[in-house]
Chains A and B, each alone.
Chain A
Amino acid sequence: MSATTLETLEHPEEAQDGTTLVVRRWSWWARATHAVLALSVFGLVLTGMPMHYADAFWAKPLLALWQGERGAAAVHKLSALGFMGSAAMHVLGMLLAWVTGRFKLRSISHQDSIVPRWTDAKQIGQQIRYLKGQGPKPEFARFTFWEKFDYIAEAWGLFIIGLTGLMMWFPGRFLEYLPGWLVNAARIFHSYEAILAMGFLFTVHYFNTHLRPEVFPVDEVIFSGNIPLHEIRERYPGWYRRVVGTNKVFRARTGTSRTALLISGFYLSVGFVILMLVMTTAALEAVRYFTWMLTGN
């Protein structure tokens, strides 16, 4: 688009034609990958959690939604394919971008890469001091350390949960090469990793995206792929300095679409309900375990 003038930078919010200065944050392929991932995660959570907490009062009604435990197991496995599919989409996308030259390997060491750097470690301390009112806001680049954690944890979690899931799905295949106790370990890894991932997504991830007061109830960036320039200035000062005035800034219509609102509303509310149910049950279980550890019965 046309080069941005200083004036539009100072008053970036609204132009006469209802467009705003934006930067592309997520490509359409990344958004499609995220959509597949989000849908799969919900399929997995809504079938896996009632299987793990089979004794909880909400387990049977939730399983009835899938026509019982066999239906739930089928949906769980189908969602698992989607889950692994999203990982494949991500790798494939990067591979294609690399082949076509749009993605360069050396860019992973760039400041605006999602790959963690030493700066992120320093910014953790800076952010804590900032939130306590003891220091300036850290100069975040395109991705903050908690956003990078989202990405790394998701990649690592997907690998662990996918691998352990496959071990339980095809035990015969795996046990040709591996010792038997690993199947038991897989069950433990799978359960805890699922609770960790679900807990993280439905709290930290939501709080940092759709639940921010400025954008609640929908952070539009995951639907349109565009992030307004004024938001970059506030949230990612480092990235702002590098991106402003370049041809990466363009004008686009912003605003929340009805579809985005519906999708986000569905994910937020369903996620919140299942999180509350699981947390209640997990808390009760923890109390039971502590009693058991202290009294022995």
Chain B
Amino acid sequence: MRTVRAPLMVAALVAACAWLLTPGSASAQSSTPSPDPMTAAECVGCHAIPDIVVADDGNYRPGLYVRPEDLTESMHAGFSCIDCHSTLRATMHARRDAARDSCHTCHEEQYAAYEAGSHGSSGEGLRPTCITCHGSHGVQDANTRTFVHRASEQCDRCHTQMNEAFMGGNPFGMETHLAGVEVATCADCHGYHTVLPTEDRASPVNEANILATCRQCHTDAPANFVDVQMHVAEGPIPDDPRLRVVTIYMLTLLIGTFGFFGYLTVLGIRFEWRRQAERARERSGTGGVL
């Protein structure tokens, strides 16, 4: 926990100068970050107001609101805001913030791994960044199963079809769907940080590595294990012709059985209805035949 104390103002100024001289460097990784002139307390004075407005136009900007609980419950609790929002100065609010580029200041290794994969800056189109999976203010311990599952939910934002097929169609998709955190999810097979296309020989789901990936959990997995399809198309009829035959057979059995017995049941109810009515007629008409 770091707080700014008045006697340390000089030290703070020195640190601020050092930080200004080495923009974007990894200086903060080597030692504990030194106190900054701008404290979280100062920033949240305004940014913890849920309906924070911008002075210039008086408009509400939801993105400017920071939940104080996120900060206090964060792995980064006690950090100064500008540790991450490193390009922000008190007088420079208008300048575009680049907080997500700050992660690599400390997490150099992870950032390099991320850059090496298809989600890195060499990739095309919309790409996830650190905070897509890890979150920002409320960043949590990544070494938990709960985190792996929550982070993997983000894959769905782009890989919608893959995700649906995985959740609905694979042999343990039901349990995955229920967020049973011990069950494998996207990151467990596809990896994280360095996410690669299946065709890439370094990918854990490439045919060269896939069996080893399965064996992380299924230690006894035989070679055939890799043929189990983990992404089966969502929808009533699967794409795989063999699975299509199985599905159509079962649907026919289902419809046939309920159709036939439904028909018999309807006939039976009608029969019973008529018999009761007839009995009632007999009783009232003859005063009892028996």
Q: A146-B261, A186-B171, A293-B236 are in contact. Are A63 and B224 (CB under 8 A)?
A: no
Inter-chain CA distance A54–B225, complex, in Å, is 26
Q: Shortest beta-carbon distance, B144 to chain A, in Å? A: 16
A172 at the interface (CB under 8 A from B): yes
Contact A175 B174 (CB under 8 A): no
Chain B interface residue number, banded: 35 or more
Contact A289 B235 (CB under 8 A): yes
Contact A131 B228 (CB under 8 A): no
Contact with B along A34-56 (1 / 0, CB 8 A): 00000000000000000110110
Which chain A residues numbered 151 to 169 have a C-beta less than 8 Å away from chain B? 153, 168
Contact A176 B246 (CB under 8 A): no
A196 at the interface (CB under 8 A from B): yes
The residue from B169, B236, B257, B272 contacting A184, defined by CB atoms under 8 A apart:
B169
Which residues does chain A contribute within 8 Å of B271, judged by CB atoms? 130-133
The chain A residue with its CB closest to the CB of B240 is A181
Which residues does chain A contribute within 8 Å of B274, judged by CB atoms? 133
Overall SS of chain A's interface? helix
B170 at the interface (CB under 8 A from A): yes
Contact A146 B178 (CB under 8 A): no
The chain A residue with its CB closest to the CB of B221 is A172
The chain A residue with its CB closest to the CB of B222 is A176
Overall SS of chain B's interface? helix
A108 at the interface (CB under 8 A from B): no
Q: Shortest beta-carbon distance, B168 to chain A, in Å? A: 9
Which chain B residues numbered 202 to 231 have a C-beta less than 8 Å away from chain A? 218, 220-222, 224-229
Contact A181 B261 (CB under 8 A): no
Inter-chain CA distance A193–B247, complex, in Å, is 11
The residue from B221, B250, B261 contacting A188, defined by CB atoms under 8 A apart:
B250
Q: A69-B175, A181-B229, A183-B228 are in contact. Are A127 and B264 (CB under 8 A)?
A: yes
B198 at the interface (CB under 8 A from A): no
B5 at the interface (CB under 8 A from A): no
Contact A69 B261 (CB under 8 A): no
Which residues does chain B contribute within 8 Å of A183, judged by CB atoms? 171, 228
Contact B225 A172 (CB under 8 A): yes
Which residues does chain B contribute within 8 Å of A63, judged by CB atoms? 178
The chain B residue with its CB closest to the CB of A129 is B267
The residue from A73, A153, A181, A203 contacting B243, defined by CB atoms under 8 A apart:
A181
B242 at the interface (CB under 8 A from A): yes
B96 at the interface (CB under 8 A from A): no
A195 at the interface (CB under 8 A from B): yes
Which chain A residues numbered 261 to 297 have a C-beta less than 8 Å away from chain B? 289, 292-293
Contact B257 A196 (CB under 8 A): yes
The residue from A51, A192, A199 contacting B175, defined by CB atoms under 8 A apart:
A51
Contact A55 B171 (CB under 8 A): no
Q: Shortest beta-carbon distance, A67 to chain B, in Å? A: 12
Q: Shortest beta-carbon distance, B275 to chain A, in Å? A: 10
The chain B residue with its CB closest to the CB of A293 is B236
Inter-chain CA distance A289–B224, complex, in Å, is 32
Contact B228 A184 (CB under 8 A): yes
A189 at the interface (CB under 8 A from B): yes
Inter-chain CA distance A140–B266, complex, in Å, is 20
The residue from A73, A131, A133, A180 contacting B227, defined by CB atoms under 8 A apart:
A180
Contact B250 A192 (CB under 8 A): yes
The residue from B172, B179, B224, B236 contacting A180, defined by CB atoms under 8 A apart:
B224
Which residues does chain A contribute within 8 Å of B254, judged by CB atoms? 192, 195-196, 199
Which chain A residues numbered 194 to 214 have a C-beta less than 8 Å away from chain B? 195-196, 199-200, 203-204, 207, 213
Inter-chain CA distance A73–B265, complex, in Å, is 35
Contact with B along A132-160 (1 / 0, CB 8 A): 11000000000000100000010000000
Inter-chain CA distance A179–B224, complex, in Å, is 6
A171 at the interface (CB under 8 A from B): yes
Show 18 A/B contacts (Cβ-Cβ < 8 Å), sorted by A: A54-B174, A69-B178, A69-B179, A69-B180, A128-B267, A131-B264, A175-B227, A181-B243, A183-B171, A184-B228, A184-B238, A184-B240, A188-B238, A188-B247, A192-B251, A192-B254, A213-B272, A289-B235
List 3 tightest A-B contacts by C-beta distance, closest first.
Answer: A180-B227, A192-B250, A131-B267
Task: Show the binding face of B for A, using Cβ within 8 Å.
Answer: 169-172, 174-175, 177-180, 182, 218, 220-222, 224-229, 232, 235-236, 238, 240, 242-243, 246-247, 250-251, 253-254, 257-258, 261, 264-265, 267-268, 270-272, 274
Excluding A51-B175, A184-B171, A196-B254, 18 further A-B contacts by CB distance (< 8 Å) are A54-B174, A54-B178, A146-B261, A153-B257, A168-B172, A171-B225, A172-B220, A176-B222, A181-B227, A181-B228, A184-B232, A184-B243, A186-B171, A188-B243, A192-B254, A195-B254, A199-B258, A200-B258
